[in-house]
A and B are shown apart, each in its own frame.
Chain A
Amino acid sequence: MSAPNELTTLTAAQMAAAMAAGEISSAELTRAHLDRIAATDDQVHAFLHVAGDAAMAAARAVDERRAAGEPLGPLAGVPLAAKDVFTTVDMPTTCGSKILAGWQPPYDATVIDRLRAAGVVIVGKTNMDEFAMGSSTENSAFGPSRNPWDLGRVPGGSSGGSAAAVAAFQAPLAIGTDTGGSIRQPAAVCGLVGVKPTYGGSSRYGVVAFASSLDTPGPLTRTVLDAALLHEAMSGHDPRDSTSLDAPVPPVVAAARHGDVAGLRVGVVAELSGEGYAPGVLSRFHEAVELLESLGAKVTEVSCPHFGYALPAYYLIAPSECSSNLARFDAMRYGLRAGDDGTASAEDVMSLTRQAGFGAEVKRRIMLGTYALSSGYYDAYYGKAQQVRTLIARDFSAAFDQVDVLVSPTTPTTAFPIGERADNPMAMYLADLCTIPGNLAGNAAISVPCGLAQEDGLPVGLQVMAPVLADDRLYRVAAAVEAALDQRRGHPLLAEANGITADREAGR
């Protein structure tokens, strides 16, 4: 892959500063990113829709507002890639599914609305596992995205297109959604920062629902400060989402600017380690823990005895909610309609449409959820899973009585080759082993890069988890780790991505 130019390798904060200083315009910046997308997306396939003219018009509008002296938000004029699960009035919203191919929603998601109001320039919609079900983007009806570190490997998922776009310097900012790890896992395997805010901290209005009690929008970026700036811009109470928390956004930007962990109590989760974890993941993780200790954090081991049951509980709860949520795809009011030949009944048309429009993983999960919710099985499956959810929340509460944050690897392995787990659903589900507990309890969590695994040279993520509405603690820890590792290395981790900085170092 060709090298990105100087504009596209700036951080979002640097881009914003350069625009505020009048050194560059949003139009120039947006053009540079659209050019980068045009030059690389045939290889990366991060985007399902590129906004092109609409993005340029939005950029010029921000430039005009700036020229007129209007007050602008801290990210005004900065390009952003949005996962194709957020509704957008001016772009199709497909959720990576044939059943929504070409659907143009009649309204914007609250998160999109807020970003537009903040002057953020949306350059396109990114690829994802169909309806956010998956950990690799291989479940997209429109083909997989590829990991910019190694084009033969997955970028993670389900927000894999967003992660690939940011790692390939196609956009400095992206938004995704995290239901079981769908922001943190792709961030980890692409060498990025990814945040799942506290559940209810960011609005679900206009986010096509997968599992409503878990779905959480959040940022994917190259730096911790950029994630904090985006977190602040997109979050906050939304009366249109009944689960939105009526509370101030935690002071995430201030925390990201002062990455100080002296005296902070850090708990290493005993259960998220050992068998099934790649050696390189564990080495980098243990080094990150030692680093935190050297920076003054007080590290202890903490046991969360029910975390081992989080994955099975999740694969009952999420499919149950999905089987209900996806019942809305009935071929009547929007989306695909198949088999309507004038003689088929509405029920037949519904079944034929869902058969034609949904991919294998979505069908599996709808049936699994239907099974778990059916009378006779409800108590043994869905009911038990909900009790496990209580026990996991209690594990977190007990842990947060002893420590300020918990840490673990974000994923058990680095990015796996495309196709390796495609026919083995259980193997795919293991990618979310460490991230799911945070979703079940609704607390805040981040993945921040902590180096490359020695066996394959691919990125490893450190996960930091904090109590509900203590999102700022994530940024304190992540900023400290990022600063120390960047200083030790002499450059950001992403500068080592194959095909990107290799080209630059060779002067190409």
Chain B
Amino acid sequence: MSITRDEVAHLARLSRLALSDDELDRFAGQLDVIIGAVARVQEVAAAGIPPTTHAAELANVFRPDVVQPCLGADVVLAQAPAAEQGRFRVPRILTED
């Protein structure tokens, strides 16, 4: 067993997923199988091998710093789940205490 149901519940919290109990049961079994399979990367003798983060070896890609028009607030807010007074309306971010 490489991952427990409690660990999956913790991952779900970190991932901001309000999973149901049924999902926790199902995902725990599936993730255990998947993690067991992907752990094969640890078989490779990789001492001294540098990591590759990206297919294209590009560094410090610059562009001219020119002012360009951006999207208008009306265009952006048109797709907002809730808007108020020309701004995004969001749920409360602080608790009472």
Contacts and interface: CB of A to CB of B under 8 A. Distances in A.
Do chains A and B stick together as partners?
yes
Interface of A: 103-107, 199-200, 213-214, 239, 242-243, 245, 306, 309, 312-313, 315-316, 323, 327, 330-337, 340, 344-352, 354-355, 358, 360, 363-364, 366-368, 370-372, 374, 380-381, 383-391, 393, 425-426, 439-442
A53 to B, nearest CB: 21
A358 B19 CA distance: 11
Contact of B51 (A107, A243, A390, A425): A390
A363 B41 contact: no
A370 B10 CA distance: 10
A371 to B, nearest CB: 6
B51 A387 contact: yes
B25 to A, nearest CB: 13
Nearest to B93: A346
Interface of chain B, helix or strand or loop or mixed?
loop
21 contacts: A104-B78, A106-B76, A199-B55, A242-B61, A245-B56, A333-B81, A334-B80, A336-B81, A337-B81, A345-B95, A367-B12, A367-B27, A367-B31, A368-B35, A371-B3, A383-B51, A384-B41, A387-B41, A388-B46, A391-B46, A440-B52
B27 A364 contact: yes
**Prevailing SS type, chain A contact patch:** helix
Contacts of B20: 355
B90 A346 contact: yes
Interface residues of B, number: 55
Contacts of B67: none
Interface string B68-93: 00010001101111100000101111
Given A312-B40, A370-B15, A384-B42, A363 B81 contact: no
Given A106-B75, A388-B41, A346 B92 contact: yes
B55 A213 contact: yes
Contact of A381 (B39, B46, B50): B39
A439 B55 CA distance: 8
Given A332-B88, A355-B19, A242 B58 contact: yes
B37 A390 contact: no
Interface in B34-66: 34-35, 37-44, 46, 49-56, 58, 61, 63
